[in-house]
Structure 1
Amino acid sequence: MDLRIKIENYLPCNCEEEKDKEIMIKYINTFDDVLTRNNEIGHFTSSCWIVNKDKTKVLMIYHNIYDSWSWTGGHADGDDDLLYVSLKEAKEETGIKNVTPLSEEIFSLEVLGVDGHMKKGKYVASHMHLNVTYLLCADENEMTHIKADENSGVKWFDLDEAVEASNEPYMKKIYGKLNKKLKDLK
């Protein structure tokens, strides 16, 4: 699995990412079906931190299920090219057409707990998202639009405002980590 190699080659930025990397590799080695939602214990997802050309702003969506401003992303749904998944989700969830990776390398790893919730009239039990994050770039002047079945807002935030806009305490920590890594690139 190409995804396993990418994760094995990823250099974690902190002890949290080191542990998450270890769990992801163990999960790949333990389960056959880690790329689809058929694995109801946990499965791979891909998210993206979409920044403007100056790397001073981030594009976020108001996520309906989490009732919070959030990064974009989605389920692998059988595809082990998680960069492709992140680009697809960025376009679908924000309406932007011109989005490019700042690097094809993984930007961040996270193992995220997902609370049970209703989606499209069906209950989805609590599970884990084995999340691979990519750093993408888009023009902040490009027209955006919401994806009504998933979000109710699309907005550019200054980096620090993006962290504060989230209603999810754990995600504030993740977004802060992404901003720190972004600033370290400059």
Structure 2
Amino acid sequence: MNRLTLKDQLQKYRTPYEEEAAFIEGFIGLTDDPLAYSRERLAGHFTASAWIVNPQRTHTLLTLHRKLGRWLQLGGHADGNENLLEVAMNEAEEESGLKNLRLVETSIFDLDKHIIPERPHVPEHFHYDVRFLIEADIQEKLVISTESVSLAWFTFDSVVDMIGYNPSILRMLEKTSKSEILL
């Protein structure tokens, strides 16, 4: 997936979720800016995430993010890589230690634009997060990266209790539960 493929997928992307639909035009506009794939674009930049589920669609893998102190899907900065699918897969492997990840489909699974709080030497900014659906074996050994405090599989039923109210995670959970991809 390159910049043109991303733009094409975004132009074709449809969602019944109003909050997600409101992001699409902003994502499309960002694709032509080479700095959008780099942290140097301080107003906001692309990130890519992996919504990792087991093949039976009963569990999702979440990380307790070290800097943000919240349970989130795995993912990270593009750091100049315009292939956001590749970024998501690399981040998923790096942050989980999982070697047998399987991309469910190459199309975008979810979009989210969210604010990242100011930290020393980093102003408050937006992440334009492009997410992909990935499967993994729940029995495979997990390895916690330096970016995480913890890493765990959660049943779909327990996600809300563990994370509290996070509309984007709840949306991905709902999409997975309603997905035509269900076994």
TM-score, length-normalised on structure 2?
Answer: 0.91
Q: How many residues align?
A: 177
Q: Hey, what does 1:73 align to over in structure 2?
A: 75
The aligned counterpart of 1:141 is 139
Deviation string for 1:124-161 (max 9, x for gaps)?
1100001101110000000011112x101111001132
From 127, 130, 140, the equivalent of 2:128 is 130
CA distance in 2, matches of 1:152, 1:13: 34
Correspondence 1:156 to 2:161: no
Is the counterpart of residue 33 in structure 1 residue 35 in structure 2? yes
Between 154-163 and 84-93, the greater mean CA deviation after superposition: 154-163
Give percent identity, aligned residues only: 31
CA contact (8 A) 2:72 2:169 kept: no
Question: For the Cα contact (< 8 Å) 1:62–1:152, is it kept in 2?
Answer: yes
Q: Which residue of 2 aligns with 1:14?
A: 17
Runs of 5+ unmatched residues, structure 2: none
C-alpha contact 1:48 1:71 (8 A) present in aligned 2: yes
Q: What is the CA–CA distance in structure 2 between the aligned matches of 1:25 and 1:133, rounded to whole Å? A: 15
Q: Which residue in 2 is equivalent to 1:175?
A: 169
Instruction: Give the partner amino acid of 1:134.
Output: F
The answer as to whether partners of 2:103 and 2:134 remain within 8 angstroms in 1 is yes
**CA separation of 1:173/1:101 partners in 2, compared to 1, >3 Å: closer, same or farther?**
same
Q: Which AA in structure 2 matches 1:53?
A: P
Alignment deviations for residues 53-82 of structure 1 (CA, whole Å, 9 cap, x no partner):
101000111111111211100011111211
Match of 2:58 in 1: 56
User: 1:166, CA displacement in angstroms?
Assistant: 2.1
Asked if 2 retains the 8 angstrom alpha-carbon contact of 1:60 and 1:162, the reply is no
Q: Where is the strand percentage greater, Structure 1 or Structure 2?
A: 1
Structure 1, gaps ≥5 residues long: none
**Alpha-carbon shift at residue 32 of structure 1 (Å):** 4.2
RMSD: 1.4
Measure the CA separation in 1 of the matches of 2:97 and 2:34. 34
